[in-house]
Amino acid sequence: MTTKRFLLPALLACIVSAAMVAAPATAWAASQDFAFGVIGHATGTARSEDALRQAIAETDADNLAFVVVNGIKSASEGCDDALYSQRHELLAQAQNGVFMSLAGSDWITCRDREQRSDAIERLARMRDIFYSGEFSLGASRLPLLRQSLTPKFRSYAENTRWEVGNLLFATVNLPAGNNHFLLDGGRNNEFEDRLIANRNWLQHLFAFAALKKSAAIVFFCDGNPFGPPPKRSFFRTQRDGFAETRRLFSELAGKFPGRVLVVYGQAAKPKAASHILWTGNLGNVGVGERWLKVVVDDHLPQLFAVADADGERR
């Protein structure tokens, strides 16, 4: 009897402790009425980090389930480990749970000391620094799963998924700049290998959401897969790097009973107010210059709406 009296308080303490750890995720699970934020990567040079800090401060002050940061630097900034680590620390200090959506500006334009492309090495380094562990960054640690758990795609840790309530959220590596399709002769190794990984990732996510009867899937990426194809020149036709992914989104969304929303980092008109464009159950919206707040509400006709600075929904 004495042993039981000692064990019961210890057991209760463990249960309470576990509940406290899970609270940030489960607090939103009881309701389909919440909001999340998306921060686009900075476009300037000297003020790039200041803009990111300001956006994180503003999202910290809001009542958000989580925040997605699309890219941590502008293309004109350096690509050294010190900058990557500094930005990682900045995201880790956020009050909300923070998920990283990899942007092309984080690695594609990187050069080594001889001014040769250092993109692939920097991509690997980004994965090492930002995409390890089983929880989001920030004070509210939300559990996540990565595509890299599948041995065949162990390199693609940036493709991440998590759940809030009855919704599935995921990042997918689709960099701005024609999905990093290169005009150079020969095989586009990085592009073609990632195309295969992304196809597997999207198929997995739609199958998982269908099995769970999720109300919606929300994707976060850098480039706009629904944008206009590259312009043709007199001498050659540029391949549309998003063509396969765009077709796959349309095909899978057409078979999915819920809503599908794609939030991309590059807005066609950065200064214009963002609003969701719907084609059937498939919607897309760009972040633009300021951070984007998206409301999830069962009472909305399309489930999602963009909220402006005054709280108005679009």
For 241, the token pair is: 């790097």
Return the pLDDT at 288: 77
Q: For residue 244, give the nearest of 277, 292, 203 by alpha carbon.
A: 203
Return the pLDDT at 26: 37
The beta strands (E) that lie in the chain are given as 34-40, 67-70, 98-101, 145-146, 160-164, 167-171, 216-221, 259-264, 277-279, 282-286, 292-296, 304-307
For 142, the token pair is: 């939300």
* Average of per-residue pLDDT across 300-306: 95
Residue 43 has pLDDT above 80, yes or no: no
Which range, of 126-135, 174-183, 226-235, 249-258, averages the lowest pLDDT?
A: 226-235
- Residue 237 CA to residue 268 CA, distance in Å, equals 22
Residue 47 has pLDDT above 70, yes or no: no
Sheet holding 34-40, edge to edge: 98-101, 67-70, 34-40, 292-296, 304-307
Residue 46 has pLDDT above 70, yes or no: no
* Average of per-residue pLDDT across 23-31: 40
Using pLDDT thresholds of 50, 70 and 90, give the confidence band for residue 19: very low
Residue 3 has pLDDT above 70, yes or no: no
Sheet holding 216-221, edge to edge: 145-146, 160-164, 167-171, 216-221, 259-264, 282-286, 277-279
Return the pLDDT at 314: 62
pTM to 2 decimal places = 0.86
Using pLDDT thresholds of 50, 70 and 90, give the confidence band for residue 267: low
Which range, of 27-41, 146-160, 214-228, 298-312, averages the lowest pLDDT?
A: 27-41
Tens of pLDDT, residue by residue over 133-142, are 999 999 999 9
Tens of pLDDT, residue by residue over 197-254, are 999 999 999 999 999 999 999 999 999 999 888 776 655 567 899 999 999 999 999 9
Give the rounded percent of residues in the chain with a pLDDT score beyond 70: 81
Return the pLDDT at 48: 75
- Residue 139 CA to residue 22 CA, distance in Å, equals 12
Using pLDDT thresholds of 50, 70 and 90, give the confidence band for residue 7: very low
Return the pLDDT at 15: 34
Using pLDDT thresholds of 50, 70 and 90, give the confidence band for residue 13: very low
Burial class of residue 244 in the structure, from the number of CB atoms within 10 Å of its CB (0-12 exposed, 13-18 middle, 19+ buried): middle
Q: What secondary structure letter does DSSP report for 298?
A: T
Residue 266 has pLDDT above 60, yes or no: yes
Residue 25 has pLDDT above 60, yes or no: no
Using pLDDT thresholds of 50, 70 and 90, give the confidence band for residue 311: low
Return the pLDDT at 269: 56
